[in-house]
Structure 1
Amino acid sequence: MSMPPDPVELYGTEYKRDPYPLYAELRARGPVHRVRFPSGVCAWLVTGYEAAHQALTDARLGKHHSRGNAAWRARASIMPEPQHSQLQVHLLHQDPPRHTELRRLITDAFAPQHVEQLRPRFQEMAEALLDGLPERGTVDLVETFAARFPFQVLAEVIGLPPEFADRFDRDWGKVVQPVGPTDPGRPAYEARLRGLQGYIADLVAHKRRAHGADLLSRLVAARDNGRLGREELDSMIFQLLVAGQEPVTNQITTALVTLLRHPGHLAQLAARPELLPRAVEELLRHDSAFELTTWRFFAEDADLHGTRIPAGDSVIVSLCAANRDPRQFPDADTLDFDRSPNPHLAFGHGSHFCPGAALARIELQIAIGTLLRRLPDLRPAVPEDELRWIPAVLARGVDRLPVTYGTGDGCPGADGPDAAC
């Protein structure tokens, strides 16, 4: 019996800065690869578009953590108890029929027609944030806008009371970047978990006293009438608060980094805002904040595109690798606002397709359009190699994005539509 190849390491500064050369190499070698993450956990990575599309709808692959084998649990299930049992039974880790039942509780709040009606309110929020900036100068767009706008939108959509919105600590979002039991950062990680769990308990108690028609109130009512367990309620609120806004923050940053790398495209979009819907789809495809999906497992040994996968080993789909597959997207590494059709997988596919996709699209259209309109002559304030890409295993984004605006006439002497300043 031949030994499996050594796992490909999916971490490091250069990898997080630009994973696409590695993904191209892996796609050329085949659709499924053994990989290793920073925690030491190994997984099977699906890279091509067709293989990814099939894996995301493969009924043999389940999401519930109980399917993971001992080797996976030893390194991957590192959120400590009691938080693991109490905060990890949300939609991302459920299979039908329970997944279907839980998802039904939130779909109305994120329905395309409903969130579209809220677009004017979201636009007001974006304008108000930018009203607080000087007419010209240098700012960090993460701190001043990208980290704030998605949270304000989320609070509006789910019914988060203002006093709880003010109390929310963005640092709690780092609980999706877990650290191992021996890591020096472990005490701070566990403190974040306890802080967030206490916040959720207070929020549930408040909604129980001041019941309304909003999503959070409806989820608390579902717990009280027996449709949700306590752990399911806490987990769904956890998912809404963390997964409901941090990925949009990251996607705003990846889109802006892409546009700053392509000043001709940035200028085109600033001059022609009617291109925004199509441009947003291409920016989602070109560099997605959801780089990798969460774990999936086979209940028994199975074949996946010619590779034998042991039962309980984790299978992860690279959405970013699928979205740059040249067999699906001609000139896949090229940013093309005229690309049509554009069936990217930035929001996943199948039963776990992101329920907030319509909301995220509106947020991205508003965020990018408003920033380009309000911040003229937008350009980087630091060299690109000084940007720090967040160390999250599954996500892409930068934690700071310093830009300069309103202090010049664009790029003097630039040669060509995408010449760098």
Structure 2
Amino acid sequence: MVTEINLASPDFKANPYPTFTELRTTDPVRQTKLTNERRGWLVSRYEDADLVLRDPRFAKDIQHALTPEELKGYYPSQQVTPEERERMIDFSHNMLAYDQPDHTRLRNLVNLTFTPRLIERWRPRIQQIADDLLDKIQDRGEADLIAAYAFPIPMQVIMEMLGIKSEDRDKFHVWSNMIIEASGNPEEFHRHRADMMDFHDYLVQIINEKRADPADDLLSQLISVETAGDKMSEAELISMVSLLLIAGHETTVNLIGNGTLALLTHPDQKALLEADPGLMKGAIEEFLRFHGPLMTATQRWAREDLVLDGTQIKRGDYVMVLLASANHDPGVFGEAETLDIRRHDNRHLAFGKGIHYCLGAPLARLEGQIAIGTLLRRLPALQLSVAAEDLVWRPGALIMGLRTLPVTF
């Protein structure tokens, strides 16, 4: 049996797959203890993960799993002012935390913006951003690809889509890192509450500025919907903008970084892709499966007592789907531990499943294709400048991403 697992540990993320193999084999629905001493479960097999992601018996909103009395004792007491608590609650009114019908109501407000057809219109702009960034580093012969390339591409795109000035990019980098890397660690999240308040106040400020001076952008559209009726509350608007900014770039940063690392540590696959760029779409799907941008899915709670893979789960139990484990399940993927950019029928779960399937998947795929394709074309002899085992992974239970990716070319 595996010992207690620290999913948030950078050291664990350096090679979590042997542990996931043992979980799938010996303890596929593994009991774990949450920070608040309540019971949780780690789901590691593909079939079970697929079910949890789609089954309405697993709620996204904890209020649909616990009674008001049970909720009072769920979270550990923390010293926050009423004003801080109110602002923190504003961040929770988003699609990721809602079940039906509110989930569909909010998703429909932004769904059309992220259709593959409309996202394709961004191809020239994404290509321009990628080329501009490489223009700045091409003559240096070395760079940190996360800071210089993987981060700025999706961040610039989502800010332009929302209509937020690009000079605030560094602020968002700090806030996003803080939120993502504190996932699964309430004490760390609490320690950054002052930064959370700053982020909240900034969002209120830019929303008010857009109200006074609307433009042809997604944020102005969301505001017009909110002011036209009761489809979106003020808290939902704040939470939606926060979600779009953070989710709109975090997945792609890690897709570009992890995908590039996969190629650099598998030179045969890199040579194959360089020789035939037409393999890029399939390669992106394999990067998402092999070392995807998320280790786990977002939160779910059991609405009722149920049995999952022979294990009894009680109403109110927290259920965490290990996406990174499910995507290496040999029962679904032949030679699951092998990177194969020509893999067929790649049914990975990197973007989730069911009604909460990632809204931004078409955008992430397009950005990944352009970013990695341009990188291979423009930076000959691209290679790591440190040993792969010396790379540092970002903390946090949610993401799988590198802090830096130093390369030479």
Same fold at TM > 0.5: yes
Structure 2 runs not aligned, ≥5 long: none
1:4-403 correspondence runs (5 A): 8-36=5-33, 43-66=40-63, 67=65, 70=71, 73-74=74-75, 81-162=85-166, 165-166=168-169, 168-173=171-176, 174-178=178-182, 186-187=190-191, 189-225=192-228, 226-403=230-407
| Distance verdict in 2 for CA 1:229–1:132, change over 3 Å | same
Q: Do the aligned residues in 2 keep the contact of 1:109 with 1:157 (CA within 8 Å)?
A: no
After superposition, the CA RMSD in angstroms is 2.5
Q: Do the aligned residues in 2 keep the contact of 1:72 with 1:314 (CA within 8 Å)?
A: no
Amino acid at match of 1:384: A
Aligned length: 399
| Distance verdict in 2 for CA 1:246–1:404, change over 3 Å | same
Q: TM-score, normalised by structure 2?
A: 0.91
Report Cα offsets for 1:47-67 as digits up to 9, x if no partner. Answer: 111111111111111101323
Tell me by how many angstroms 1:39 deviates. Answer: 8.2
Q: Do the aligned residues in 1 keep the contact of 2:305 with 2:312 (CA within 8 Å)?
A: yes
**How many angstroms apart in 2 are the aligned matches of 1:18 and 1:394?**
15
Amino acid at match of 1:145: Y
Q: Do the aligned residues in 1 keep the contact of 2:211 with 2:220 (CA within 8 Å)?
A: yes
Q: TM-score, normalised by structure 1?
A: 0.88
**How many angstroms apart in 2 are the aligned matches of 1:264 and 1:77?**
52
**How many angstroms apart in 2 are the aligned matches of 1:231 and 1:192?**
18
Amino acid at match of 2:94: H
Moved more, 132-141 or 32-41: 32-41
Structure 1 runs not aligned, ≥5 long: 406-421
| Distance verdict in 2 for CA 1:54–1:181, change over 3 Å | closer
**How many angstroms apart in 1 are the aligned matches of 2:35 and 2:139?**
42
Tell me by how many angstroms 1:170 deviates. Answer: 0.7
**How many angstroms apart in 2 are the aligned matches of 1:218 and 1:356?**
17
Amino acid at match of 2:30: H
Q: Do the aligned residues in 2 keep the contact of 1:388 with 1:398 (CA within 8 Å)?
A: yes
SS of residue in 2 equivalent to 1:74: coil
**How many angstroms apart in 2 are the aligned matches of 1:155 and 1:33?**
39
Q: Do the aligned residues in 1 keep the contact of 2:293 with 2:400 (CA within 8 Å)?
A: yes
| Distance verdict in 2 for CA 1:203–1:249, change over 3 Å | same
Q: Do the aligned residues in 2 keep the contact of 1:11 with 1:38 (CA within 8 Å)?
A: no
> Is the helix fraction higher in 1 or 2?
2
**How many angstroms apart in 2 are the aligned matches of 1:395 and 1:23?**
16
Identity %: 37
**How many angstroms apart in 2 are the aligned matches of 1:26 and 1:400?**
29
- Higher relative CO (Cα under 8 Å, sequence separation at least 6) belongs to 2
Tell me by how many angstroms 1:29 deviates. Answer: 1.6
Q: Do the aligned residues in 2 keep the contact of 1:52 with 1:318 (CA within 8 Å)?
A: yes
| Distance verdict in 2 for CA 1:151–1:9, change over 3 Å | closer
